[in-house]
Amino acid sequence: MLTRKQHELLRFIQVRLEETGISPSFEEMKEALDLKSKSGVHRLISALEERGFIRRLPNRARALEVLKQPENLGARAPVPRAAANSNETVRPRAAVVPPANDVIEIPLHGRIAAGVPIEALEGQTTLPVPAALLGAGEHYALEVSGDSMIEAGILDGDFALVKRTATARDGEIVVALVHGEEATLKYLRRENGMVCLDPANAAYEPQIYHTGEVEVQGKLAGLLRRYN
């Protein structure tokens, strides 16, 4: 049996997920339930999780999924204040929408050249990335080294977010593995049976290889940049 506060919190989370697809923050839950501190929210979340009503999605910040609801939820739990004040209407439970603005941890694999190819390093660290920047599929990140892609808005020190794929179309920016050991970030172009890796900087020349010398390991899905 759930307490009244547990019922209220469960309903508040469900309303937010149905309305926006985004889990409420702990601050929002604290305000909605008129609690004095976030520690009270943590205790309620833990209790609901232990009883199998919700679960925390791995590798994501503020991501909760409602697994079930008690049969008497509607009779016992009024809509919390924050939801009521925003004119949200509680509807019958629908399919839970995956949170849309959570943070996902993706592998960070060293530095990649945006100039002359350098060795692609396989790192063991991860990079937190807003899920909204990524689409479907498996992704990883590489730190950009060099300035050969500056005319495409890719600067030294940026983090390239890469969708893992072995195929790409001409004109797409790809991670290309050259001779099985060096990786570079370039525009892909095929011409006369050769593979051309084109820079986005007039100071650099295209790199031209035989087809068997180049392997596409992914294509650019987004960028992260630090300002410090």
pLDDT in tens, 15-31: 888 777 777 887 888 88
pLDDT the model gives residue 60: 56
Highest mean pLDDT among 47-56, 95-104, 122-131: 47-56
How confident is residue 96, by pLDDT bands cut at 50, 70 and 90? very low
148 part of the active site: yes
Q: Which domain holds residue 117?
A: 103-224
141 lies in some domain: yes
CATH number of 117's domain: 2.10.109.10
pLDDT of residue 42: 81
Are residues 77 and 132 located together in one domain of the fold? no
Within this chain, do residues 68 and 111 fall inside the same structural domain, yes or no? no
Looking at the chain, the whole-number percentage of residues with pLDDT higher than 70 is 79
What pTM does this model have? 0.55
Active-site annotation holder among 5, 30, 186, 219: 186
78 and 112 inside one domain: no
161 plus 199 within the same structural domain: yes
Q: Are residues 140 and 50 in the same domain?
A: no
Residue 76 has pLDDT above 80, yes or no: no
pLDDT at position 215: 93
What pLDDT was estimated at residue 78?
47
Q: What rounded mean pLDDT belongs to the chain?
A: 79
Same domain for 75 and 41? yes
Identify whether 68 is a catalytic site residue: no
Q: Both 81 and 40 in a single domain?
A: yes
Which of 5, 23, 148, 163 is flagged as catalytic?
Answer: 148
Identify whether residues 212 and 117 lie together within a single domain: yes
pLDDT number for residue 89? 41
What's the domain count of the chain?
2
116-125 burial, b for 16+ CB within 10 Å, e for fewer?
ebbebeebee
Cα angle for residues 52, 54, 60 (degrees, 5° grid): 130
Average pLDDT over residues 63-69: 80
Domain-ending residue, one of 85, 111, 134: 85
Find, among 15, 3, 2, 6, the residue nearest to 79 by Cα: 15
For 120-147, the pLDDT digits (tens) are: 555 558 888 887 778 788 888 999 988 9
Which pLDDT score is estimated for 88? 44
pLDDT confidence of residue 169: 93
- At residue 38, the pLDDT reads 78
Domain presence at residue 33: yes
pLDDT at position 172 is 95
Does position 171 have pLDDT exceeding 60, yes or no?
A: yes
Q: 100 versus 30: which is more confidently predicted?
A: 30
Q: What is the CATH number of the domain that holds 29?
A: 1.10.10.10
Task: Please name which of 144, 134, 177, 141 lies closest in space to residue 162, comparing C-alpha atoms.
Answer: 141
Statement: residue 95 has pLDDT above 60: no
Residue carrying structure tokens 């500056």 = 150
Shared domain check, 207 and 167: yes
Q: Is 91 within the bounds of a domain?
A: no
Q: Are residues 109 and 81 part of one domain?
A: no
> 72 and 107 share a domain?
no
| Section 40-54 average pLDDT | 84
For range 164-180, the mean pLDDT: 92
